[in-house]
Amino acid sequence: MTNVSATGPSPLPFGPQAPWLAPLAGFTDLPFRLLCRENGARVAHTEMISVKGLIYNSQGTWDLLATAPADTPLVVQLFGADPDCFAQPVRWLTERGFHWIDLNAGCPVRKVIKTGAGAALMEDPQRLVRIMQTIGRAAPVQAGVKLRLPADGSTDGLLRLRDTLARAGVSWITLHPRTARQGYGGLAQWSALSRMAESSPVPIVASGDLWNAQAARRCFEQTGVDGIMFARGALHNPRIFKADLATGAEEDPCTDTASIAALVRRHGQLCRRYDPSRSMLLKMRSFIPRYVKGFPGAKQARKGIIACQDWEAFEQYADQLEEALAGQ
């Protein structure tokens, strides 16, 4: 990875001109990250990666770290509960050229929470801080942490946590202002973002209900956060990153059949180049329905991708997609 000085990696870019791609388990793999970067994402996350999976040398876990020269700056998101399990994986990561690390302290999935990881860390701030200290001492990395609202929804506790984490040396904090119990439903409480951003000693990155560029622009204006990351908004439209969030220029809505077909073709090209496996072809079945949603031929397009048995068939599918979407 580039930009690493003797004292550690350079700070990540923030601001309306530097939208980030959020970590999305099952989605933010190398081809999708490159697709988003080609459209303007300035920073991207891996999906969440288990520190225990790295320690136990699980091939599936290491595969999640596949990257390429254009895939930078890349934030590797780790999850785990035991502070002692973080030092060695972080050293391994830096040896392999990964220098930006994020701790997942927001995952609401029961299987993860049960182990004390993800959003369970919000209820055990001392452990959370110890993990961040361990990461910071293990190697010269820039480390961030992704938080949710605590279970009681209180922002006072969150502000104390922010200041403690800043003293522990975190380089940025991402807040997805929903409680773990809320999952991804209900509205994200942007008022909590405003409180976090006010006089924060570290940059605050917003996540939550950023479905399009207008929402991101509003979020900057209303909350005073330093940065934003697109999550489900990017899954629906990877061209969301093209919009100029600073000037207010309209986003590229990607609502014509030709642009969707071009997007699908490009996504397929990146998959074939970086991971032409059958499992990647099957994974395209989970991306395509979002891209084609709302078009007259969406149903046919969803059926079409399921019928693709190899990448040649996928290419033909992409060639015919524009017409199919128009319902012809």
Ligand X SMILES: Cc1cc2nc3c(=O)[nH]c(=O)nc-3n(C[C@H](O)[C@H](O)[C@H](O)COP(=O)(O)O)c2cc1C
Contacting residues toward ligand X, per CB under 6 A:
22-25, 47-48, 77, 104, 106-107, 146, 176, 184, 188, 207-210, 231-233
| DSSP structural state of residue 184 | T
Contact 145, 128 (CB under 8 A): yes
C-alpha dist (Å) from residue 172 to 98, 123, 204, 206, 266:
17, 20, 6, 11, 32
Report the nearest approach of ligand X to the CB of residue 145 (Å): 10
DSSP assignment of 86-130, as one string?
Answer: THHHHHHHHHTT--EEEEEE----HHHHTTT-GGGGGG-HHHHHH
> Is 232 annotated to bind ligand?
yes
Nearer to ligand X, 29 or 209 (CB): 209
CA 68/CA 177 separation, integer angstroms: 32
Catalytic residue at 219? no
Report the nearest approach of ligand X to the CB of residue 116 (Å): 16
Report the nearest approach of ligand X to the CB of residue 324 (Å): 26
Nearer to ligand X, 229 or 271 (CB): 229
Report the nearest approach of ligand X to the CB of residue 298 (Å): 20
The two structure tokens encoding residue 277: 């496996």
> Is 180 annotated to bind ligand?
no
Nearer to ligand X, 229 or 325 (CB): 229
> Is 299 annotated to bind ligand?
no
CA dihedral for 296, 297, 300, 305, sign (positive or negative): negative
Contact 103, 83 (CB under 8 A): no
Pick the catalytic residue from 36, 107, 219, 308: 107
> Is 127 annotated to bind ligand?
no
The catalytic residues are: 107
Residues making up the binding site for FMN: 77, 146, 176, 231-232
